């Protein structure tokens, strides 16, 4: 590591940036100026380090990782990068010295919200971990002008506002115009045959320029620096002057707008596919630019692409970047003159695929017509891949076998992206043990039988430097005090285990409890200042934050709250542990039911807030605009983490890990990574309830009758009636109860809320009992923290490096 900076040096650097970039002194600077100046200082350090890192990689001819993802949910970077670089302390002192409050400067940074949820945040944690582990890696995505929308709650309902993060977020980006790539859309292909070799010519296409805007990423305690390459879309001709002068002004401007719209906005759909032309354009745009850029650099260094797979691995984050496969083929065939077999051999040794969801409605299937007209040459290549695959499958299974149809890449005039990935990738992995098993035995069972060795598991992990040390400094201190006093656990997360020596140490448990109380108070202060809501910090903070989706079952949580409410009203002596239920969730703008559930949560929150009977006992709050920077404040203050998805549906979950590391206990189903959390801590340190994945699938096979559960359970009956009758705010929710009981046109209660209700209720009763014994609760909390090391992203990245990428990493 380079020498650390002193406070004075840091102040000088910041002042110089203020002067040069904004023409201001410290006295004239706003918080926004100050943030930008600090970011520029940190960016300079990383940029210098990155040049050195790239040199070393080039000299050592090391294999590089390219992580392709439509989403990178980076959140804020200033405090994080400064922390990793070891300059956080002098920077804070310098900010103070210049007359500002460091906390306020960090708060001035907008979240880089270039993602929806789990998949995007995972990519961000992994880029940090790859950097810390000194793996030469680059992330690739789109430089969306507008990130995930900002959520406002108006009259209980979600309203979406534009998120213009580049205002200030720009400070991190280094524009590399010299590495611009051209991406071609539309037009048609003219085949020129020379013997049996084809030289296809692409004519009448529309060009879009892809301009890299690189965001450097620092690793912890290393000079190694990687970058996130965000492609911005530009028209090749600013405004076509020939059209302009010929009077076709609109057409001239239109061409420009058509090009630039590609990078305008992140699609806010999570786990839900819609065959939108612009989305396909986004995918090809970023993937084509990425592959061209990697191959161009490789050629410049090695003079050939023959050894490409030895020097590069391309990891595709769900199917969204699948077009990297035919795009590599296109370059090798059309631009480099390779024969099919050799090109295919290079591609299939380079690309690996991670699946992140089993929900059928999330599977990408592009209509042939759209695909063919937008990407004519890529379409031809995919047809050829599909054809050859079909022949192979038929050789293996026999013609007319159902498996050939299920595994087909093109079928019913659709391109199935997952099947293309499975065919072309040398590795396919799920993101938790359970999820990987479901992939092998259910979703991709046919492919698994064909090539079992392709299928792997890499259980997700989170950046524990951000999600523990940075956001929960008091807990970080306690851990250091209880381990060897050093920061070693920041590199070797399994050292958290040493905490467990103190599992019966009353003083340590008391201190752990005190840290949680302080964090709750701090969070309550923040919420009060932001929204005016006064949280009851004496109550158990029971938290469910994640995207709103029916399979995640926020509605089950609400049903239980209504049950508690009813019992409290009925029986003033009803003995239950006071609770503050906190929700945070964005709904996809077009997902009607999800939006209704948000409205319901707000109806319940209002009713409870205005009912004196609930005072100091029951509280519900919907936290507006849940995002990375809000999660960072909330995790340290949470006591109970709700991970209550229908078993078999949540691929992994990563929020669950953030809660665990910050000492919250989990109430959850045996789904996704909860299964492995349960394995780590045992029955005694987690509140498990509900049907298992196997039981869910058995019940569905047998025929699930939600109505019977409803009829046989007086609590459920009462709750449904309550929802139908409506709330003091005038809203009633017959639409939601119908969905649960009769189905309203679709299968009733698809996610088995009613089947799991009783078991959920019982688990909550256990929670309440344990909470009344603070010593026991704190011990459970300590054990959870101590055994959370396995959920560090470093462990996941080591798994990828060793079992899929075959690249070395820092020990």
CB of 545 to ligand 26W, least distance (A): 14
Is the distance from CB of 293 to CB of 179 less than 8 angstroms?
A: yes
440 included as an active-site residue: no
Is the distance from CB of 604 to CB of 156 less than 8 angstroms?
A: no
Nearer Cβ to ligand 26W, position 137 or 171?
137
Q: Which of 110, 118, 169, 376 binds ligand 26W (CB under 6 A)?
A: 118
- For residue 206, what are its two tokens? 């529309």
> What are the Cα distances from residue 253, in Å, to 70, 143, 247, 282?
27, 21, 12, 20
122 binds ligand 26W, rule: CB under 6 A = yes
Nearer Cβ to ligand 26W, position 652 or 784?
652
460 binds ligand 26W, rule: CB under 6 A = yes
- Among 410, 390, 411, smallest CA distance to 401 is for 390
270 binds ligand 26W, rule: CB under 6 A = yes
Site string for ligand 26W, 340-369 (x = CB under 6 A): ----------------xx----x-x-----
522 included as an active-site residue: no
- For residue 167, what are its two tokens? 């205002």
CB of 734 to ligand 26W, least distance (A): 29
Q: Which residue stretch of 98-106, 117-125, 399-407, 710-718 sits at the interface with ligand 26W (rule: CB under 6 A)?
A: 117-125
Q: Which residue stretch of 15-23, 115-123, 185-193, 720-728 sits at the interface with ligand 26W (rule: CB under 6 A)?
A: 115-123
Is the distance from CB of 184 to CB of 204 less than 8 angstroms?
A: no
CB atoms within 10 A of CB 684: 10
Question: Distance of alpha carbon 124 from its chain centroid, rounded?
Answer: 8
> What are the Cα distances from residue 69, in Å, to 64, 228, 678?
16, 10, 30
654 binds ligand 26W, rule: CB under 6 A = yes
- For residue 571, what are its two tokens? 């029986």
Q: How far apart are CA 641 and CA 635, in angstroms?
A: 9
Q: Which of 273, 489, 563, 727 binds ligand 26W (CB under 6 A)?
A: 273
Q: How far apart are CA 593 and CA 391, in angstroms?
A: 43
615 included as an active-site residue: no
Q: Which of 42, 46, 119, 166 binds ligand 26W (CB under 6 A)?
A: 119
CA angle (324, 326, 331) in 5-degree steps: 90
- For residue 168, what are its two tokens? 């200030």
Nearer Cβ to ligand 26W, position 272 or 495?
272
The residue annotated as part of the active site, out of 483, 654, 666, 669, is 654
654 included as an active-site residue: yes
Nearer Cβ to ligand 26W, position 288 or 319?
319
618 binds ligand 26W, rule: CB under 6 A = no
Residues between 585 and 614 that touch ligand 26W (CB under 6 A): none
- For residue 124, what are its two tokens? 């961000």
315 binds ligand 26W, rule: CB under 6 A = no
The residue annotated as part of the active site, out of 617, 658, 764, 795, is 658
652 binds ligand 26W, rule: CB under 6 A = yes
> What are the Cα distances from residue 601, in Å, to 279, 557, 721, 733, 767?
32, 10, 17, 11, 22
CB of 164 to ligand 26W, least distance (A): 22
Helix axes 753-771, 734-741, angle to 10 degrees: 110
Residues touching ligand 26W: how many (CB under 6 A)? 23
144 binds ligand 26W, rule: CB under 6 A = no
CB of 345 to ligand 26W, least distance (A): 29
Nearer Cβ to ligand 26W, position 308 or 751?
751
DSSP state of 746: S
The residue annotated as part of the active site, out of 150, 511, 546, 599, is 546
511 included as an active-site residue: no
Name residue, tokens 């690739």.
Answer: 140
- For residue 789, what are its two tokens? 């090391």
304 included as an active-site residue: no
271 binds ligand 26W, rule: CB under 6 A = yes
269 binds ligand 26W, rule: CB under 6 A = yes
CB of 355 to ligand 26W, least distance (A): 8
- Among 788, 772, 573, 565, smallest CA distance to 686 is for 788
Nearer Cβ to ligand 26W, position 671 or 756?
671
Q: How far apart are CA 239 and CA 245, in angstroms?
A: 11
Nearer Cβ to ligand 26W, position 226 or 674?
674
For the four alpha carbons of 620, 624, 628 and 634, in that order, the dihedral sign comes to negative
Name residue, tokens 């923290």.
Answer: 785
Q: How far apart are CA 451 and CA 429, in angstroms?
A: 13
Active site amino acids:
356, 546-547, 552, 654, 658
The binding site for ligand 26W (CB under 6 A) comprises: 116-119, 122, 269-273, 318, 356-357, 362, 364, 431, 460, 650-654, 672
């Amino acid at each position: 590591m380079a020498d650390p900076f002193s406070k004075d040096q840091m102040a000088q650097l910041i002042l110089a940036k203020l002067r040069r970039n904004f023409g201001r002194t410290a006295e004239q600077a706003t918080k926004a100026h100050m943030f930008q100046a600090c970011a520029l200082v940190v960016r300079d350090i990383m940029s210098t380090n990155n040049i050195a890192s790239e040199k070393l990689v080039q000299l050592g001819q090391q294999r590089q990782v390219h992580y392709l993802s439509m989403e990178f949910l980076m959140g804020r970077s200033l405090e994080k990068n400064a922390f990793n670089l070891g300059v956080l302390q002098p920077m804070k002192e310098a900010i103070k010295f210049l007359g500002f409050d460091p906390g306020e400067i960090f708060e001035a940074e907008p979240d880089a919200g270039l993602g929806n949820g789990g998949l995007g945040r995972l990519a961000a944690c992994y880029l940090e971990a790859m950097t810390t582990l000194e793996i030469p890696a680059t992330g690739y995505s789109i430089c969306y002008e507008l990130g995930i929308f900002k959520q406002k709650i108006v009259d209980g309902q979600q309203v979406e506002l534009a998120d213009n993060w580049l205002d200030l977020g720009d400070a991190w980006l280094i524009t590399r115009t010299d590495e611009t790539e051209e991406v071609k859309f539309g037009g048609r292909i003219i085949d020129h045959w020379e013997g049996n070799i084809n030289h296809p010519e692409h004519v009448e296409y529309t060009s879009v320029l892809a301009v890299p805007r690189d965001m450097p990423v620092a690793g912890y305690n290393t000079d190694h620096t990687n970058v996130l390459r965000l492609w911005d879309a530009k028209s090749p001709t600013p405004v076509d002057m020939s059209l302009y002068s010929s009077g076709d002004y609109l057409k001239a401007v239109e061409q420009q707008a058509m090009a630039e719209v590609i990078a305008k906005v992140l699609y806010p759909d999570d786990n839900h596919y819609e065959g939108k032309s612009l989305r396909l354009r986004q995918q090809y745009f970023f993937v084509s630019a990425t592959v061209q850029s990697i191959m161009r650099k490789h050629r410049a260094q090695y003079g050939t692409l023959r050894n490409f797979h030895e020097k590069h691995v391309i990891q595709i984050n769900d199917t969204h970047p699948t077009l990297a496969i035919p795009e590599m083929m296109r370059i090798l065939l059309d631009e480099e003159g390779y024969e099919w077999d050799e090109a295919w051999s290079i591609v299939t040794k380079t690309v690996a695929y991670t699946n992140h969801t089993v929900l059928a409605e999330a599977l990408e299937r592009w209509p042939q017509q759209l695909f063919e007209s937008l990407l004519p040459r890529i379409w031809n290549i995919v047809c050829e891949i599909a054809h050859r695959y079909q022949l192979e499958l038929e050789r293996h299974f026999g013609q007319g076998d159902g498996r050939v149809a299920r595994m087909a890449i093109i079928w019913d005039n659709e391109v199935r992206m997952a099947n293309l990935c499975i065919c072309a990738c040398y590795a396919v992995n799920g993101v938790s043990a359970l999820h990987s098993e479901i992939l092998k035995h259910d979703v991709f069972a046919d492919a698994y039988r064909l090539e079992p060795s392709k299928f792997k598991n890499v259980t997700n992990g989170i950046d524990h430097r951000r999600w523990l040390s940075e956001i929960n400094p008091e807990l970080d201190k306690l851990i250091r005090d209880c381990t060897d006093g050093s920061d070693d656990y920041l590199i070797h997360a399994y050292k958290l285990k040493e905490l467990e020596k103190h599992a019966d140490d009353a003083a340590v448990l008391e201190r752990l409890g005190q840290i949680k109380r302080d964090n709750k108070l701090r969070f309550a202060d923040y919420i009060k200042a932001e929204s005016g809501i006064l949280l009851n910090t004496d109550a158990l903070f029971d938290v469910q934050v994640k995207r709103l989706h029916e399979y995640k079952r926020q509605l089950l949580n609400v049903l239980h709250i209504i049950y508690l409410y009813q019992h409290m009203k009925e029986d003033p002596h009803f003995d239950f542990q006071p609770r503050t239920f906190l929700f945070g969730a964005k709904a996809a703008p077009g997902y009607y039911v999800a939006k209704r559930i948000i409205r319901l949560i707000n109806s319940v929150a209002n009713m409870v807030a205005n009912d004196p009977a609930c005072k100091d006992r029951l509280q519900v709050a919907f936290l507006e605009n849940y995002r990375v920077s809000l999660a960072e404040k909330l995790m340290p203050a949470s006591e109970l983490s709700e991970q209550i998805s229908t078993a078999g549906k949540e691929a992994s979950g990563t929020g669950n890990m953030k809660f665990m590391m910050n000492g919250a206990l989990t109430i959850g189903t045996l789904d996704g990574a909860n299964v492995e959390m349960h394995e780590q801590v045992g029955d005694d340190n987690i509140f498990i309830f509900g049907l298992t994945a196997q039981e869910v699938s058995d019940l569905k096979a047998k025929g699930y009758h939600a109505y019977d559960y409803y009829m046989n359970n007086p609590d459920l009956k009462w709750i449904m009636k309550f929802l139908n009758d409506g709330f003091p705010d005038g809203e009633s929710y017959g639409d939601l109860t119908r969905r649960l009981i009769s189905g309203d046109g679709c299968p009733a209660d698809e996610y088995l809320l009613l089947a799991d209700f009783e078991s959920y209720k019982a688990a909550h009763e256990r929670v309440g009992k344990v909470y009344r014994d603070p010593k026991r609760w704190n011990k459970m909390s300590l054990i959870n923290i101590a055994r959370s090391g396995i959920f560090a992203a470093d462990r996941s990245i080591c798994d990828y490096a060793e079992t899929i990428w075959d690249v070395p990493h820092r020990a």
